[in-house]
């Protein structure tokens, strides 16, 4: 009975903060919770065995991702033929995989405590956490959704350090505070005070840097860009009977843009309700509209290349199609099936599973209003890919997406949270056009200056600053993730060797 009571207490102490931490993301946006929500897990990891710490960490992380990714349930329920009792399976499996990395951090903290000391383990906790986030964002194609730093997207002063170290820099600061608070519980005297002092200095430096950057008003050229959000329900997008109505909505919205005199018009991902290059009449309509506006249009469409389909952004001027970018980072189980020889049978389960071919080249369009790059759908959540366009000369970045698959859930708004970080990382404006929302203009400071909400149909036109300089992150990329991976590996390997030597000496 005592063990059962202890287990229940641990469950409340460790799982309740994980649940609350997931609410730091849209739509609740309780962004203060990640500053302390990991304290119980880190403290418990220093006093429990590595195996127990891992299990509690895995359970905690899995619950966090179950709450965070609950919006995926809508897609499986509405657009798949998975039997009802099994429809929760994909979300649970994904949450368990992502939660594994939280368990790995808890294991490492416990193991380092046992081999070295709790003080060292907590000092290394920010590196361990960032290393785990980096691995989750790169292994098996990567899934960086739910990176802890994204919870601070509305805390504009805090996120300015993304210019230096990306979103992982913000995660590092959050973990440093959690580790310091955990140290106040499990450490004594000077060690606890030193940890709290170091975390306080780090937070103060972060806020001072943010204040300085936000206080700057750098002069830079601007470009006038229009966004069109047609808000076409997913079941109607590719329905031939609705094609005429869909196009009527598109070109009615386009007429509203004319008076704003934009230098570029951005449509969402797969805006064309047909395979665009197979539809010369539609190409001609876009071409005529571009000529009338005196501005190029960026239009998303499915394209066919030698019998293979691609997710493509076409640049259309009065001369017709003058450029294209083929999506490089495809969505697993959405745009392709990993290990298709083994798992190909899942294509029959859901209408959202396609078999597309990935592009191979990051294209910067050297067209008015300035050289710009495009990331399609969730490509923008991968900092390394986004950075390729900026390093190739993009002065403006566009994200075109279709989040209609996720209905009115929190998924589209969680997707939006990534792009203020991409803007700050490179001090570049981000123009985001979404079919059903959330479309937005994001300033180089990471401030979302204007947005169209979910299922609002409309247009927005803004003058956006163009990128004029390189940041540390532009030059070096995700150096903090790599550093954290190196520090974590060295700490675990060094402690293992030390333990092996001590065991041999005592034998």
Q: Does 95 lie in the same domain as 155? A: yes
428 lies in some domain: yes
Residues 47 and 189 in one domain: yes
Using a cut of 0.85, tell me whether the model's pTM lies above it. yes
Residue 456 lies in a domain: yes
Residue 327 appears among annotated catalytic residues = yes
Identify whether residues 92 and 206 lie together within a single domain.
yes
Angle among Cα 144, 270, 401 to the nearest 5 degrees reads: 30
- Spot the catalytic one: 98, 377, 413, 462: 377
Whether 184 sits among the annotated catalytic residues: the reply is no
Classify 437 as helix, strand or coil. coil
Residue 377 annotated in active site: yes
* Structure-token match 């039997």, residue found: 83
Same domain, 228 and 211: no
> Could you check whether the bond before residue 438 is cis, i.e. omega within 30 degrees of 0?
yes
Say whether both 115 and 41 belong to one domain.
Answer: yes
CA distance 268 to 434: 5
| Euclidean distance between CA atoms 36 and 29, whole angstroms | 15
Question: Residues 98, 133, 163, 269: which is the catalytic one?
Answer: 269
Domain assignment of residue 475, yes or no = no
In a domain, 472, yes or no: no
Q: Are residues 210 and 238 both part of a single domain? A: no
Q: Do residues 431 and 493 share a domain?
A: no
> Could you tell me the CATH number of the domain that includes residue 332?
3.60.110.10
Per the domain annotation, does 157 fall within a domain? Answer: yes
Question: What's the rounded Cα separation, in Å, for the pair 294 and 161?
Answer: 39
DSSP H helices, 69-117, are 72-79, 89-115
Is residue 194 domain-shared with residue 226, that is, in the same domain?
no
Q: Does residue 473 fall inside a structural domain?
A: no
Dist. CA 364–CA 428, nearest whole Å: 14
Residue 474 lies in a domain: no
Residue-wise pLDDT tens for the chain (507 aa)? 555 555 677 778 889 999 999 999 999 999 999 999 999 999 999 999 999 999 999 999 999 999 999 999 888 888 777 777 677 888 999 999 999 999 999 999 999 999 999 999 999 999 999 999 999 999 988 999 999 999 999 999 999 999 999 999 999 999 999 999 999 999 988 999 999 999 999 999 999 999 999 999 888 899 999 999 999 988 777 788 888 888 899 999 999 998 889 999 999 999 998 899 999 999 999 999 999 999 999 999 999 988 899 999 999 999 999 999 999 999 887 777 665 555 555 555 555 567 889 999 999 999 889 999 999 999 999 999 999 999 999 999 999 999 998 999 999 999 999 999 999 999 999 999 999 989 999 999 999 999 999 999 999 999 999 999 999 999 999 999 999 999 999 999 988 877 666 656 665
Are 100 and 226 found together in one domain? no
Give me 444's structure tokens. 């180089």
CA distance 133 to 137: 6
Which of 133, 163, 237, 327 is an active site residue? 327
- Domain membership of residue 476 (yes or no) is no
What total of structural domains would you count in the chain? 2
Q: Are residues 166 and 227 in the same domain?
A: no
Exposed, middle or buried: residue 296 (CB in 10 Å: 0-12, 13-18, 19+)?
Answer: buried
**Whether 143 and 212 share a structural domain:** yes
Tell me how far apart the alpha carbons of residues 391 and 352 are, in angstroms, rounded to a whole number: 33
Indicate if 109 and 233 belong to the same structural domain.
no
CA distance 130 to 55: 20
**Domain range for residue 245?**
222-340+349-466
């Amino acid at each position: 009975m005592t063990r059962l009571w202890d287990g229940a207490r641990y469950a409340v102490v460790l799982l309740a903060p994980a649940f609350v931490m997931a609410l730091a993301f849209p739509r609740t946006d309780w962004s203060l919770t990640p500053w302390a929500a990991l304290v119980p897990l880190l403290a418990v990891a220093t006093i429990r065995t590595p195996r127990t710490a891992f299990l509690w960490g895995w359970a905690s992380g899995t619950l966090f991702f179950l709450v965070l990714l609950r919006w995926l349930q809508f897609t499986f329920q509405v657009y798949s033929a998975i039997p009802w009792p099994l429809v929760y399976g994909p979300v649970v499996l994904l949450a368990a995989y992502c939660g594994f990395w939280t368990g790995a951090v808890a294991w490492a903290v416990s193991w380092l405590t046992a081999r070295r000391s709790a003080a060292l383990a907590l000092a290394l906790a920010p590196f361990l956490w960032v290393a785990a986030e980096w691995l989750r964002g790169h292994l098996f194609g990567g899934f960086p959704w739910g990176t802890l730093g994204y919870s601070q997207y509305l805390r504009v002063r805090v996120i300015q350090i993304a210019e230096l170290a990306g979103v992982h820099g913000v995660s590092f600061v959050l973990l440093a505070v959690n580790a310091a608070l955990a140290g106040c519980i499990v450490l004594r005297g000077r060690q606890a005070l030193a940890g709290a002092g170091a975390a306080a200095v780090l937070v103060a430096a972060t806020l001072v840097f943010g204040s300085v950057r936000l206080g700057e008003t750098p002069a830079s050229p601007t470009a006038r860009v229009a966004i069109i959000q047609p808000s076409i329900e997913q079941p109607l997008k590719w329905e031939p009977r609705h094609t005429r109505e869909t196009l009527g909505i598109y070109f009615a919205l386009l007429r509203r843009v004319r008076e704003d005199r934009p230098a570029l018009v951005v449509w969402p991902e797969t805006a064309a309700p047909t395979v665009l290059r197979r539809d010369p009449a539609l190409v001609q309509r876009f071409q005529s509209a571009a000529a009338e506006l005196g501005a190029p249009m960026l239009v998303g469409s499915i394209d066919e290349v030698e019998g293979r389909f691609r997710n493509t952004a076409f640049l259309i001027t009065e001369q017709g199609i003058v450029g294209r970018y083929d999506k490089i980072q495809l969505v697993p189980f959405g745009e392709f099936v990993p290990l298709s020889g083994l798992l190909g049978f899942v294509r029959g389960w859901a209408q959202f599973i396609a078999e597309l071919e990935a592009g191979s080249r990051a294209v910067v369009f050297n067209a008015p209003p300035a050289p710009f790059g495009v990331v399609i759908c969730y490509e923008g959540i991968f900092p390394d890919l986004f950075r390729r366009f900026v390093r190739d000369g993009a002065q403006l970045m566009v994200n075109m997406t279709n989040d209609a698959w996720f209905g009115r859930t929190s998924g589209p708004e969680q997707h939006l949270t990534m792009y203020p970080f991409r803007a700050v990382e490179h001090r570049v404006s981000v123009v985001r056009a979404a079919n059903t929302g959330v479309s937005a203009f994001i300033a180089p400071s990471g401030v979302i200056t204007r947005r169209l909400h979910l299922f609002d149909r409309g247009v927005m036109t803004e003058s956006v600053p163009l990128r004029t300089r390189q940041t540390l992150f532009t030059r070096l990329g995700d150096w903090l993730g790599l550093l954290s991976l190196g520090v974590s590996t060295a700490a675990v390997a060094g402690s293992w060797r030390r333990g092996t030597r001590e065991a041999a000496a005592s034998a």
